[in-house]
Structure 1
Amino acid sequence: MPTPSTSSAAPTLTDASLRVEDRYAVLTFERDDVRNALTGTALVDDICAAIEWANHSDLNCLIITGAGKGFSSGGNIKEMADKQGMFGGSPMQITDSYRRGIQRMSRAVFHAELPLIAAVNGAAVGAGFDLACMCDIRIGCENSLFGETFINLGIIPGDGGAWFLQRLVGYQRAAELTFSGRLVKAQEAKELGLLLELVDSSELLDAAEKLAQSFAAQPPQALRASKRLMKIAQRQELNDFLDHCASVQAACHYSEDHTRALNAFINKESASYSGQ
Structure 2
Amino acid sequence: MGRATSVAIADGVMTLTLARPDKLNAYNPEMQAEMIAAFDRADADDDVRAVIVTGEGRAFCAGADLSGGAATFDYGGDSEWRSEAVPRNADGGVDFSSPSVRDGGGTLALRIFRAKKPVIGAINGVAVGVGVTMTLPMDVRLASETARFGFVFARRGIVPEAASSWFLPRIVGIANALDLCFSGRIIGAQEAQGLGLVRSVHAPDDLLPAAREVARSYVEATAPVSIAMTRAMLWRMLGAAHPMEAHRLDSRAIWTRGASGDAREGVESFLEKRDAAFPDRVSRDLPHFSPWMDDPDWS
Aligned partner of 2:39 in structure 1 is 51
Name the CA distance, whole Å, in 2 between partners of 1:269 and 1:16.
Answer: 40
Residues 60 and 223 of structure 1 are in contact (CA less than 8 Å); yes or no, is this contact kept in structure 2? no
CA distance 1:54–1:87, change in 2 (3 Å): same
Residues 24 and 216 of structure 1 are in contact (CA less than 8 Å); yes or no, is this contact kept in structure 2? no
Aligned-residue Cα RMSD (Å) equals 2.3
CA distance 1:165–1:192, change in 2 (3 Å): same
Aligned partner of 1:110 in structure 2 is 113
Are 1:72 and 2:61 counterparts? yes
2:153 counterpart letter in structure 1: F
Offset at 1:159? 2.5
1:152 counterpart letter in structure 2: R
Equivalent position SS for 2:167 = helix
Structure 1 residue runs of 5 or longer lacking an equivalent are: 1-11
Are 1:144 and 2:139 counterparts? no
Aligned partner of 1:16 in structure 2 is 5
Residues 161-196 of structure 1: per-residue CA shift (max 9 Å, x gap):
222211111111000000000011011111110111
Runs of 4+ in structure 1 off by over 4 angstroms are 87-98
Residues 1-23 of structure 1: per-residue CA shift (max 9 Å, x gap):
xxxxxxxxxxx533111111233
Equivalent position SS for 1:38 = coil
Are 1:262 and 2:262 counterparts? no
1:48 counterpart letter in structure 2: I
Name the CA distance, whole Å, in 2 between partners of 1:260 and 1:55.
Answer: 23
Equivalent position SS for 1:52 = helix
Among residues 240, 245, 257, which one is paired with 1:240 in the alignment?
245
CA distance 1:114–1:264, change in 2 (3 Å): same
Name the CA distance, whole Å, in 1 between partners of 2:267 and 2:182.
Answer: 50
Name the CA distance, whole Å, in 2 between partners of 1:157 and 1:98.
Answer: 16
Equivalent position SS for 1:155 = coil
1:75 counterpart letter in structure 2: A
Aligned partner of 1:4 in structure 2 is none
Equivalent position SS for 1:252 = helix
Equivalent position SS for 1:195 = coil
Among residues 126, 130, 144, which one is paired with 2:129 in the alignment?
126
Residues 98 and 158 of structure 1 are in contact (CA less than 8 Å); yes or no, is this contact kept in structure 2? no
Name the CA distance, whole Å, in 2 between partners of 1:107 and 1:135.
Answer: 10
Q: Between the two proteins, what is the percent identity of the paired residues?
A: 28
Offset at 1:228? 1.1
Aligned partner of 1:5 in structure 2 is none
Higher helix fraction (1 or 2): 1
Offset at 1:231? 1.7
Aligned partner of 1:42 in structure 2 is 30
2:234 counterpart letter in structure 1: M
Structure 2 residue runs of 5 or longer lacking an equivalent are: 73-78, 89-93, 282-299
Aligned partner of 1:188 in structure 2 is 191
Name the CA distance, whole Å, in 1 between partners of 2:156 and 2:101.
Answer: 17
Offset at 1:98? 5.4
Offset at 1:113? 1.8
Residues 120 and 138 of structure 1 are in contact (CA less than 8 Å); yes or no, is this contact kept in structure 2? yes
Equivalent position SS for 2:135 = helix
Residues 121 and 141 of structure 1 are in contact (CA less than 8 Å); yes or no, is this contact kept in structure 2? yes
Name the CA distance, whole Å, in 1 between partners of 2:273 and 2:204.
Answer: 36
Aligned partner of 1:85 in structure 2 is 80
Alignment length, in residue pairs? Answer: 264
Residues 98 and 159 of structure 1 are in contact (CA less than 8 Å); yes or no, is this contact kept in structure 2? no
Residues 14-69 of structure 1: per-residue CA shift (max 9 Å, x gap):
31111112332110111011111112x51101111011121222122111110101
Are 1:219 and 2:223 counterparts? yes
Residues 94-119 of structure 1: per-residue CA shift (max 9 Å, x gap):
97765163332122112112211000
Name the CA distance, whole Å, in 2 between partners of 1:203 and 1:176.
Answer: 30
- Map 1:197-216 onto structure 2 (within 5 A): 197-216=200-219
Offset at 1:252? 1.4
Name the CA distance, whole Å, in 2 between partners of 1:98 and 1:145.
Answer: 30
Which deviates more from structure 2 when the two are superposed, residues 142-151 or residues 77-86?
77-86
CA distance 1:273–1:22, change in 2 (3 Å): farther
